[in-house]
Amino acid sequence: MILKLKQNIKGKNIRIVFPEGSEPRVLEAVAMLLKEDLVTPILLGEKKEILKMLENYNIDKTKVEIIEPETYSQKEEMLNMLKVIRKDKNTEEELRTWIKQNNYFGVLLVKQEYAHGMVGGALYPTKDIIKPAFQIIKTKENVNKASSVMILLKNNEIYFMADCAIQEIPTSDDLAEIAIQTANTVREFGFIPKVSLLSHSTKGSASGELVDKVKFAIKKLDELKVDFLYDGEHQFDTAIEEEIKKLKDKSPRFSGVSNTFIFPDIQSGNIGYKIARSLGGFKAIGPIMQGLNAPINDLSRGCTAEEIYDIVIITANQALKRG
């Protein structure tokens, strides 16, 4: 999968901004990306510090752009744009403070279309990457709420898990929208989505409000007449093991196992993908944002340089599809 995505973006000069421009893992990933001519990096931070660190990673300083938000010459243009976007929601002093912060500054570069996308979160908590994206980039016109998806890779196995980072306690309608957004993402990466909405119950084996929430999400997808395969409510073993599915689900909507899993809340999703990564040996890429007007993607603070490399490749592909 990653090999094909790399071929899509090689030599296309897709500009990706990194708000943590002096972070060693980021620079290690940047060195790998530049070696293959995959993206043009924009590094935010203190120029003198970053230039010194580039030498440690054998990065040619002419191949990257370094911007210091504090001394940026076009801050007034950014401020005027922010005033239009935020209207009367913030004071001018607050907006000027935003411009000085790398996480907001990076999002603003994407909004201005100076950068095609942003990848951050190696040091920032998720909320400090996602909040500026919601405030400035905003969601697409037909999207009620943005969500996120994790991609799990191991040998020839590829799975998609949502939402593991954004929506804490989604409603039934939210779960249906997450399923739709995730199915679209799966298709964008060239796979056929086979979606299971997860629960601690399989087709009525348990009851209660938690189970009903997933059942109502399935009904919502039925009402919307979506054009992808979906089923539920499913326990995880039912969704992923064919023999167990045959035993537990007597009325399956599609044959075979699922490759896309919609968790009932952020806790189960976040725990689930981290179990797969830590105990199952899967590579976890993401969280990849869904439903925004431009690609802004978050990292786990425990990410490796290789994981940053992978999500930058995905972000660049999202930018390419956006045009």
CATH code for residues 141-291: 3.40.50.10750
Question: Among residues 159, 136, 157, 134, which one has the least CA distance to residue 147?
Answer: 134
The answer to whether the CB of 171 falls within 8 A of the CB of 215 is no
pTM of the model: 0.88
Say what the pLDDT of residue 323 is.
Answer: 63
Question: Among residues 79, 81, 83, which one has the least CA distance to residue 96?
Answer: 79
Domain extent listing, the chain: 1-138+293-323, 141-291
CA dist., res. 248 & res. 234, Å (int): 9
Question: Among residues 47, 57, 60, which one has the least CA distance to residue 21?
Answer: 47
The two structure tokens encoding residue 166: 């954004």
Query: Hey, what amino acid is at 84?
Result: V
Domain covering 1-138+293-323: architecture? 3-Layer(aba) Sandwich (3.40)
How confident is the prediction along the chain (323 residues), in pLDDT tens digits per residue? 888 899 999 999 999 999 999 999 999 999 999 999 999 999 999 999 999 999 999 999 999 999 999 999 999 999 999 999 999 898 999 999 999 999 999 999 999 999 999 999 999 998 999 999 999 999 998 899 999 999 999 999 999 999 999 999 999 999 999 999 999 999 988 899 999 999 999 999 999 999 999 999 999 999 999 999 999 999 999 999 999 999 999 999 999 999 999 999 999 999 999 999 999 999 988 889 999 999 999 998 888 999 999 999 999 999 988 76
Angle at 106 between CA 314 and CA 290, to 5 degrees: 40
Same fold, 1-138+293-323 and 141-291: yes
Question: Among residues 130, 268, 145, 286, which one has the least CA distance to residue 200?
Answer: 268
**Looking up tokens 């090689």, which residue turns up?**
10
DSSP per residue over 52-116, as a string?
A: HHHHHTT--GGGSEEE-GGG-TTHHHHHHHHHHHHTTSS-HHHHHHHHHSHHHHHHHHHHTTSSS
Say what the pLDDT of residue 303 is.
Answer: 87
